[in-house]
Structure 1
Amino acid sequence: MTPKDKQVVLMILGGWGITPAWSGNILNYLNTPHFHNLWKTFFHINIEPFPGKYSFCARQGSEISFANIGTGRINPDEGDQINEAIKSGVFLRHTGIQNAFRSTQGALHIVSLVDTRGKHSRLEHLAGLLIVARGFNVPKIFFHLGLMSGDDPNDRAYYELQKIIRMIEPFPNVEIASLFGSNFVLENDNKIKSIKILFNLLTRGHGLYFNQNFSEIFDRYYQKGGIDNTFPPSALNIDSKIIGRVNAGDTIIIANLKIDSIRPFVKIFDSPNIVGTPFDKKKLSNLKIYTFFNHGMGSKSISIFNRKTIPNPLSKVLSDNKLTQLKIAHIDKKFQIGYYFNGGNFEKYDNENRKVFPISRLDQNWLLGADEIYWDFKKAFLKRSHNFYLVSFSNADLLGHFGDMDIASKAIKKFDNIIGEIANITLERGADLIITADHGNAEEIIEKQTGEHKRYHTTNPVPFIFVSSKNLRPRAESLSLEGDIPPLYNSYTHASIAPTILDLFGLIKPSQMSDEGLITNELPIKNGVN
Structure 2
Amino acid sequence: MVEALQKNPKHKGRKGPVVLVIMDGVGYGKYTEGDAVKAALTPNLDRLTAEWPSTKLKAHGTAVGLPDDGDMGNSEVGHNAIGCGRVFAQGAKLVGKSIEEGRIFAGDTWKKLISNVRDKNTTLHFLGLFSDGNVHSNVSHLRAMLTRALDEGVKRARVHILLDGRDVGETSALEYIDPFEEFLSGLNAKGADYRIASGGGRMQITMDRYGANWSMVEKGWHTHVLGEGRRFASAHEAVEILRAETSAIDQDLPPFVIEENGKALGSIEDGDSVIFFNFRGDRALEITAAFEEDDFDKFDRVRRPGVEYAGMMEYDGDMHVPRQYLVPPPSIDRTLGEFLAATRVKQLAVSETQKFGHVTYFFNGNRTGKFDPGTEDYVEIPSDIVPFEDRPWMKAAEITDTVIKALEEGKYDFIRLNYPNGDMVGHTGIYPAVVCAMEALDLQLGRLEKAARKAGATLILTADHGNSDDMFEHSKTGEVIIKENGQPKAKTAHSLNPVPCIIVDFDGKGEYSPTLKEGLGISSLAATSIELLGYLPPSDYDPGVLDWK
TM-score range, shorter chain: 0.7 to 0.9
Which residue pairs with 1:355 in the alignment? 380
Contact kept? 1:259, 1:335, Cα under 8 Å? no
Which residue pairs with 1:449 in the alignment? 478
Q: Following superposition of structure 1 onto structure 2, how do residues 232-311 of structure 1 map, counting pairs within 5 Å?
A: 232-271=254-293, 273-275=295-297, 277=300, 283-284=305-306, 287-296=307-316, 297-299=319-321, 301-311=323-333
Can you list the C-alpha shifts for 1:204-232, whole angstroms capped at 9, x where unaligned?
Answer: 33333333x44433332222125343444
Which residue pairs with 1:516 in the alignment? 543
Whole-Å separation in 1 of the counterparts to 2:527 and 2:541: 9
SS of the residue 2:537 aligns to: coil
- CA separation of 1:233 and 1:428: change in aligned 2, threshold 3 A: same
What RMSD in Å do the two structures reach over aligned CA positions?
3.4
Whole-Å separation in 2 of the counterparts to 1:13 and 1:475: 25
Whole-Å separation in 2 of the counterparts to 1:30 and 1:235: 42
Equivalent pairs counted in the alignment come to 508
Q: 1:492 aligns with which of 517, 520, 534?
A: 520
Contact kept? 2:527, 2:544, Cα under 8 Å? yes
Whole-Å separation in 2 of the counterparts to 1:348 and 1:413: 33
Contact kept? 2:206, 2:221, Cα under 8 Å? no
- CA separation of 1:243 and 1:395: change in aligned 2, threshold 3 A: closer
Structure 2 residue identity aligned to 1:81: L
Tell me the CA shift for residue 291 of structure 1. 1.4
Whole-Å separation in 1 of the counterparts to 2:301 and 2:160: 23
Tell me the CA shift for residue 384 of structure 1. 2.4
- CA separation of 1:506 and 1:112: change in aligned 2, threshold 3 A: same
Structure 1 residue identity aligned to 2:154: V
Range 412-421 or range 54-63, more displaced: 54-63
Whole-Å separation in 1 of the counterparts to 2:302 and 2:421: 43
Which residue pairs with 1:386 in the alignment? 412
Structure 2 residue identity aligned to 1:352: D
- CA separation of 1:396 and 1:178: change in aligned 2, threshold 3 A: closer
Which residue pairs with 2:402 in the alignment? 376
Correspondence 1:167 to 2:174: no
Q: 1:432 aligns with which of 458, 462, 474?
A: 458
Q: 1:83 aligns with which of 96, 117, 123?
A: 96
Tell me the CA shift for residue 394 of structure 1. 2.6
Structure 1 residue identity aligned to 2:534: G
Whole-Å separation in 2 of the counterparts to 1:271 and 1:2: 52
Tell me the CA shift for residue 362 of structure 1. 6.8
Which residue pairs with 2:532 in the alignment? 504
Can you list the C-alpha shifts for 1:472-500, whole angstroms capped at 9, x where unaligned?
Answer: 456578428xxxxxxxxx43111211122
- CA separation of 1:152 and 1:71: change in aligned 2, threshold 3 A: closer
SS of the residue 2:246 aligns to: coil
Whole-Å separation in 1 of the counterparts to 2:466 and 2:39: 17
Unaligned 5+ segments in structure 2 are 1-10, 482-487
- TM-score, structure 2 as length reference: 0.81
Unaligned 5+ segments in structure 1 are 481-489, 524-530
Which residue pairs with 1:49 in the alignment? 59
SS of the residue 2:495 aligns to: coil
Can you list the C-alpha shifts for 1:425-460, whole angstroms capped at 9, x where unaligned?
Answer: 112111111111122233344447223456133322
Which residue pairs with 1:68 in the alignment? 81
Structure 2 residue identity aligned to 1:345: R
Tell me the CA shift for residue 35 of structure 1. 1.6
Tell me the CA shift for residue 124 of structure 1. 0.2
- CA separation of 1:389 and 1:151: change in aligned 2, threshold 3 A: same
Whole-Å separation in 1 of the counterparts to 2:532 and 2:541: 17
Which residue pairs with 1:186 in the alignment? 207
SS of the residue 1:422 aligns to: helix
Structure 1 residue identity aligned to 2:19: V
Can you list the C-alpha shifts for 1:341-391, whole angstroms capped at 9, x where unaligned?
Answer: 111112333223131442676776563332222122212321224332112
SS of the residue 2:369 aligns to: coil
Contact kept? 2:422, 2:437, Cα under 8 Å? no
Which residue pairs with 2:485 in the alignment? none
Whole-Å separation in 2 of the counterparts to 1:29 and 1:147: 30
Range 196-205 or range 174-183, more displaced: 196-205
Which residue pairs with 1:466 in the alignment? 503
- CA separation of 1:506 and 1:278: change in aligned 2, threshold 3 A: closer
Contact kept? 1:44, 1:465, Cα under 8 Å? yes
- TM-score, structure 1 as length reference: 0.84
Structure 2 residue identity aligned to 1:177: A
Whole-Å separation in 2 of the counterparts to 1:30 and 1:238: 51
Tell me the CA shift for residue 317 of structure 1. 1.9
Q: Following superposition of structure 1 onto structure 2, how do residues 66-145 of structure 1 map, counting pairs within 5 Å?
A: 66-87=79-100, 91=104, 93=106, 96-104=109-117, 105=120, 106-115=122-131, 117-145=133-161
SS of the residue 2:412 aligns to: coil
Whole-Å separation in 2 of the counterparts to 1:21 and 1:344: 34
Contact kept? 2:156, 2:194, Cα under 8 Å? yes
Whole-Å separation in 1 of the counterparts to 2:16 and 2:182: 59
- CA separation of 1:219 and 1:50: change in aligned 2, threshold 3 A: closer
Tell me the CA shift for residue 96 of structure 1. 4.8
Q: Following superposition of structure 1 onto structure 2, how do residues 300-339 of structure 1 map, counting pairs within 5 Å?
A: 301-339=323-361
Structure 2 residue identity aligned to 1:9: V
Contact kept? 1:112, 1:121, Cα under 8 Å? yes
Whole-Å separation in 2 of the counterparts to 1:71 and 1:518: 15
Contact kept? 1:116, 1:148, Cα under 8 Å? no
Contact kept? 1:6, 1:505, Cα under 8 Å? no
SS of the residue 1:494 aligns to: coil
Contact kept? 1:204, 1:245, Cα under 8 Å? yes
Whole-Å separation in 1 of the counterparts to 2:142 and 2:355: 27
- CA separation of 1:441 and 1:268: change in aligned 2, threshold 3 A: closer
SS of the residue 2:278 aligns to: coil
- CA separation of 1:254 and 1:29: change in aligned 2, threshold 3 A: closer
- CA separation of 1:181 and 1:460: change in aligned 2, threshold 3 A: closer
Tell me the CA shift for residue 22 of structure 1. 4.2
Whole-Å separation in 2 of the counterparts to 1:242 and 1:411: 42
Whole-Å separation in 1 of the counterparts to 2:301 and 2:44: 57
Whole-Å separation in 2 of the counterparts to 1:9 and 1:249: 52
Tell me the CA shift for residue 177 of structure 1. 2.2
Whole-Å separation in 1 of the counterparts to 2:347 and 2:127: 37
Which residue pairs with 2:484 in the alignment? none
Contact kept? 2:33, 2:480, Cα under 8 Å? no
